[in-house]
């Protein structure tokens, strides 16, 4: 029968599953000490066995109410079980027992933030900073809680402090640039984007924010260079269907059916970043098995992406978007349905490099009180940025069989429309895969 020393040795050796089995063998007998239960719970938590983690740690805390480490891990298990209110109680008790335990303060703030109690989260993060005033991640966490309360200037100071403490941290620069944009602090935003791009060349969010900041600073030629719609946008009108389909019409009809029958098709919740209007539905990974017609479409898009990337490498090798091209990427896809009306607000695809959209189903007639009903428009930016410069948009009329390729940092939207039919579009992102030696693939 193993003992506690052997269990600790297994744990130190990285054999967590063996260590947990040894714990459970002891627990099956009469040995149910608080220490053994805490070790078993911690191992179960590490292995993702959340139900047993909670059970063991709860019993450990019941036996030893002042065991701060067991309470802390119990709180972490409850967070992962999506029971944050209970987790908060545990973290607060841990802080009473051990005021200097930094992770307890931070995890308390994170749980409160997730419950949207931003004022309480702010207080928790301030408590964490009293323990570790030079911790960059705590300044950023405090800034996010302040930002959610509309305290943008204070949030900006926190993000700037986080950047000063950790200059090579992309998340701090992201937060700093975004808060500066929301405040109209264009030079601060541009400086943050420049530092961000040195760390992550061709990052979609950084390039998108920089293009807006340049326009607001009156540096229109540089913005024009980033937003070179003439060369960085490509439209391909399919004239024939992939092999296996009688016609392009049949291929598009199959893609539309595949979308409408896709098991992941749903309307995103109002607080989901992908929510744009009540009539929008979208799928998860569109090319998941069984792929059906999505498979040939993905092959077609992959080939078009490679061709376009090669064209850009020859034509614009010094452009920051082209020069920062990833060596390897993978395609992610989803399909969207707008049910007879709707729109998509200006947005960029943060995690991607090059994006594409294909239209298998467009209503015969679309109308709108504004310009270009249902058109794909490039330019502009989110309403939360207090911009003054109005850049002319590039509008593309969607047609069945049309494939549009564009840099993922181009802000784009679907103009509002009304129709008597649904509108279906399949979107693709080329998501960089970190590899310094592997050739570009999709």
Mean pLDDT of 378-400: 93
Is 391 found in the same domain as 280? yes
The percent of residues in the chain predicted with pLDDT above 70, rounded, is 97
pLDDT tens per residue, range 139-164: 999 999 999 999 999 999 999 999 99
Is 289 found in the same domain as 400? yes
pLDDT of residue 101: 96
- Domain membership flag for residue 255: yes
Domain C-terminal end among 133, 158, 177: 133
- Domain membership flag for residue 299: yes
pLDDT confidence tier of residue 371, bands split at 50, 70 and 90: confident
| Full strand arrangement of the beta sheet holding 394-396 | 341-347, 412-418, 376-378, 394-396
pLDDT of residue 2: 66
Is 252 found in the same domain as 126? no
Mean pLDDT rounded to a whole number for the chain: 93
pLDDT tens per residue, range 201-240: 999 999 999 999 999 999 999 999 999 999 999 999 999 9
Where residue 417 sits, what CATH number does that domain have?
Answer: 2.60.120.620
pLDDT of residue 440: 38
- Domain membership flag for residue 175: no
Is 403 found in the same domain as 291? yes
Is 289 found in the same domain as 409? yes
Is 379 found in the same domain as 249? yes
pLDDT of residue 130: 97
Pairing of the two strands 280-282 and 234-237: unpaired
Number of domains into which the chain is organized: 2
pLDDT tens per residue, range 279-336: 999 999 999 999 999 999 999 999 999 999 999 999 999 999 999 999 899 999 999 9
pLDDT confidence tier of residue 436, bands split at 50, 70 and 90: very low
| Residues with Cβ within 8 Å of residue 130, at least 6 apart in sequence | none
Is 111 found in the same domain as 253? no
pLDDT confidence tier of residue 86, bands split at 50, 70 and 90: very high
pLDDT of residue 223: 97
Is 421 found in the same domain as 304? yes
Where residue 51 sits, what CATH number does that domain have?
Answer: 1.25.40.10
pLDDT of residue 369: 66
Asked if residue 45 has pLDDT above 60, the reply is: yes
pLDDT of residue 439: 37
The lowest-confidence range among 162-176, 274-288, 320-334, 428-442 is 428-442
pLDDT confidence tier of residue 438, bands split at 50, 70 and 90: very low
Asked if residue 441 has pLDDT above 90, the reply is: no
- Domain membership flag for residue 374: yes
Is 268 found in the same domain as 124? no
pLDDT of residue 134: 97
pLDDT of residue 253: 98
Residues of the domain holding 118: 4-133
Mean pLDDT of 390-396: 93
- Domain membership flag for residue 275: yes
- Domain membership flag for residue 206: no
pLDDT confidence tier of residue 442, bands split at 50, 70 and 90: very low
Domain C-terminal end among 99, 133, 167: 133
- Domain membership flag for residue 214: no
pLDDT tens per residue, range 87-130: 999 999 999 999 999 999 999 999 999 999 999 999 999 999 99
Asked if residue 31 has pLDDT above 80, the reply is: no
Is 406 found in the same domain as 294? yes
- Domain membership flag for residue 176: no
pTM: 0.87
pLDDT of residue 327: 85
Domain C-terminal end among 133, 153, 188: 133
């Amino acid at each position: 029968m193993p003992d506690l020393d052997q269990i600790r040795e297994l744990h130190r050796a990285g054999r967590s599953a063996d260590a947990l089995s040894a714990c459970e063998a002891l627990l099956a007998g009469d040995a149910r000490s608080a220490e053994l239960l805490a070790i078993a719970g911690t191992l179960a938590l590490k292995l993702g066995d959340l139900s047993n983690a909670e059970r063991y740690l709860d019993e450990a805390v019941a036996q030893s109410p002042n065991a701060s480490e067991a309470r802390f891990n119990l709180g972490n298990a409850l967070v992962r079980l999506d029971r944050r209110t209970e987790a908060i109680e545990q973290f607060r008790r841990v802080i009473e027992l051990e005021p200097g335990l930094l992770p307890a303060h931070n995890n308390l703030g994170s749980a409160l933030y997730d419950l949207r109690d931003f004022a309480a989260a702010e207080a928790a993060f301030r408590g964490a900073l009293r323990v570790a005033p030079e911790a960059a991640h705590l300044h950023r966490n405090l800034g996010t809680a302040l930002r959610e309360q509309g305290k943008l200037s204070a949030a900006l100071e926190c993000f700037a402090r986080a950047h000063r403490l950790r200059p090579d941290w992309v998340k701090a620069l992201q937060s700093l640039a975004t808060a500066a944009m929301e405040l109209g602090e264009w030079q601060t935003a541009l400086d943050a984007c420049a530092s961000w791009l040195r760390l992550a060349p061709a990052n979609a969010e950084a390039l998108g924010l920089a293009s807006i900041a340049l326009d607001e600073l009156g540096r229109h030629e540089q913005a024009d260079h980033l937003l070179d719609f003439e060369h960085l946008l490509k439209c391909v009108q399919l004239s024939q269907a992939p092999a296996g389909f009688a016609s392009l019409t049949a291929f598009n009809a199959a893609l539309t059916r595949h979308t409408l029958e896709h098991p992941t098709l749903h309307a995103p919740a109002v607080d989901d970043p992908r929510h744009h209007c009540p009539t929008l539905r979208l799928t998860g990974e569109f090319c998941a098995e069984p792929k059906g017609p999505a498979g040939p479409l993905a092959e077609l898009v992959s080939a078009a992406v490679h061709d376009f990337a090669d064209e850009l490498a020859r034509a614009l090798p010094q452009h920051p978007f082209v020069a920062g091209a990833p060596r390897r990427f993978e395609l992610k896809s989803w399909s969207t349905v707008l049910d007879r009306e709707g729109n998509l607000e200006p947005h960029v695809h943060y995690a991607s490099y090059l994006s594409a959209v294909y239209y298998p189903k467009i209503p015969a007639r679309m109308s709108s009180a504004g310009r270009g009903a249902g058109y794909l428009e490039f330019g502009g930016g989110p309403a939360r940025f207090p911009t003054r410069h109005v850049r002319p948009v590039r509008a593309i009329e969607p047609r069945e069989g049309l494939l549009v390729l564009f840099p993922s940092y181009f802000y784009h939207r679907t103009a509002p429309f009304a129709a008597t039919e649904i509108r279906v579009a399949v979107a693709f992102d080329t998501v960089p895969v970190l590899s310094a030696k592997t050739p570009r693939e999709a």
